[in-house]
Amino acid sequence: METRAGDPGAFAHFDLNRVDSPAFVVDAAKLRENLRVLADIGERSGAKVLAALKAFSMWSVAPIVGEYLDGVCTSGLWEARLASEFYDGEIATYCAAYKAEDLPEILRHSDHVIFNSPNQIERFQPIIEAARAAGQHFDIGLRINPLHPEGEVPRYDPCAPHSRLGFPIDQLTAEHVAMIDGLHMHTLCEQDFEPLARTWDKVFDFLEPHFGEFSWINLGGGHHITRADYQRDELVDFLRDMAEDTGAQVYIEPGEAVALDAGILVGEVLDTQFNGMPVAVTDISATCHMPDVIEAPYRPAMLGELPLDEEIVDEGQGGAVRLGGPSCLAGDVIGDYRLPVPCEPGARFAFLDQAHYSMVKTTTFNGVPLPSIWLWDSETDQLECIKRFGWETFRDRLS
């Protein structure tokens, strides 16, 4: 999988030695820039824009997010609780399957509660009715599967064959529509406008008989709106037309777009050797700190990486060094890079576009320490350590 982000922006001038290693560094100025773009889309189109916490839930910047967006979307009880405590605006919650014991609190925190199937709505109707009888106000939604795959990688495509995510749209009936206030669909991953338009064309005929019956339609996330080449004017026109056609309030839930190119992951070379090519062990672990490198897979862009020099050939690698993490997993390999600094113990480097997903997916497997988290404002050069993780974080995961 090839990422279409990786603009160094102000990080091109950031001194990597100002922070711990490993460390995530988020640029508040770039975050605000992204949020302004998203807010503009909402203002021009009339759509409501929610930040997806599953992609970026650094709650210390919740006040910044709240300045620009209409709220957040969450993926279950703990994210809904986080949203209720720290974020402003609406809360929309979707989970592939809810536990009965979690649902009352989720209903209490959320403005929209979106189910994956009509079966769960029917089964939990007593809980829903009890919450409403207690004076709680929330809408019930259903996630649909448009049965129209657009993803580059099947495991990341909710419309892949036999997907568990969303109710197949060809099974949707008037009885199902009568149970809900709104519809949710999420089919994109790091994509631009055209896949969204093609998906809507696919579902239009199924939904047209029910236009006017939905209070809202939520188009989910995966919209790379803050990428420079995204077709924003086309999106605005599309969202306006959709609201007019359906009679519904339209929502979008960007996650990655909120923090796109707003953060780096700083690392350090710990040791080097030669095994058919130069090899370096770093304090960044693919499996612990950037699991999508293995799962997608993809090659993260490096800050200041040197271009391949055709005159430098070392076992066919063009001078590249294979970087891997400190864990015992043989596959803990990040990739082959030409570092902008000499590859020796103590050398600092950074990977670009690591604020979203990487931060929320970190683990302490093998006792590998978690990166600290820093907030930098490239406009003022203010730098603050938000959090460091001690060994207690590893200890307290288990007992």
Site of tokens 């503009």: 40
Nearest in space to 383 (alpha carbons), one of 5, 8, 10: 10
What pLDDT is attached to residue 314? 46
Start-to-end CA distance of the chain, whole Å, equals 37
Bond prior to 154 in cis (omega within 30° of 0): no
Whether pLDDT at 312 is above 70: no
3: which DSSP letter?
Answer: -
What pLDDT is attached to residue 310? 46
Q: 383 or 155: which carries more pLDDT confidence?
A: 383
Site of tokens 């997916």: 361
CA distances (Å), origin 27, targets 14, 19, 72, 250, 381: 10, 13, 20, 30, 10
Reported as a pLDDT band with limits 50, 70 and 90, residue 315 is: very low
Is residue 209 packed enough to be buried (19+ CB in 10 Å), middle (13-18) or exposed (0-12)?
exposed
CA distances (Å), origin 233, targets 204, 229, 230, 249, 326: 21, 11, 9, 19, 46
Whether pLDDT at 317 is above 60: no
| 3-state SS class at 299 | coil
**Alpha carbons 184 and 387: distance in angstroms, whole number:** 35
What pLDDT is attached to residue 156? 84
**Alpha carbons 72 and 90: distance in angstroms, whole number:** 6
Asked whether the beta carbons of 24 and 265 are under 8 A apart, the reply is yes
For residues 177-183, average pLDDT: 98
Asked whether the beta carbons of 324 and 294 are under 8 A apart, the reply is no
**Alpha carbons 228 and 208: distance in angstroms, whole number:** 33
Whether pLDDT at 316 is above 60: no
Whether pLDDT at 208 is above 70: yes
Whether pLDDT at 187 is above 60: yes
User: From its phi and psi, is residue 318 left (phi > 0), alpha (psi between -120 and 50) or beta?
Assistant: left
172: which DSSP letter?
Answer: -
> pLDDT tens for residues 329-343?
999 999 999 999 999
What pLDDT is attached to residue 153? 81
What pLDDT is attached to residue 2? 63
Whether pLDDT at 202 is above 50: yes
Q: 231 or 311: which carries more pLDDT confidence?
A: 231
Least confident of 185-194, 207-216, 253-262: 185-194
What pLDDT is attached to residue 313? 46
Pull the structure tokens for residue 10: 């102000």
Least confident of 60-74, 173-187, 282-296, 304-318: 304-318
Q: How far is CA 310 from the centre of its chain?
A: 37
CB atoms within 10 A of CB 91: 25
CA atoms within 13 A on the CB side of 32: 11
> pLDDT tens for residues 115-154?
999 999 999 999 999 999 999 999 999 999 999 998 878 8
Whether pLDDT at 1 is above 90: no
How confident is the prediction for the chain on average, in pLDDT?
A: 95
Reported as a pLDDT band with limits 50, 70 and 90, residue 296 is: confident
Asked whether the beta carbons of 305 and 338 are under 8 A apart, the reply is yes
- Percent of the residues in the chain that have a pLDDT greater than 70, as a whole number: 96
Bond prior to 22 in cis (omega within 30° of 0): yes
Reported as a pLDDT band with limits 50, 70 and 90, residue 318 is: low
**Alpha carbons 96 and 116: distance in angstroms, whole number:** 5
For residues 187-199, average pLDDT: 93
Q: Considering the domain 46-259 in this protein, what is its CATH number?
A: 3.20.20.10
For residues 154-171, average pLDDT: 93
For residues 203-230, average pLDDT: 96
What pLDDT is attached to residue 330? 97
**Domain 9-23+262-395 sits in which CATH superfamily?**
Lyase, Ornithine Decarboxylase; Chain A, domain 1 (2.40.37.10)
What pLDDT is attached to residue 152? 79
What pLDDT is attached to residue 96? 97
Domain boundaries, the chain: 9-23+262-395, 46-259
Bridge partners, residue 396, by sequence: none
Whether pLDDT at 3 is above 80: no
The DSSP result for 333-391, as a single string, is EEEEE--SS--STT-EEEEES-TTTTGGG---GGGPPPPEEEEEETTTTEEEEEE---H
Q: Cβ contacts of residue 192 below 8 Å, gap of 6+?
A: 224, 227, 229, 230, 231
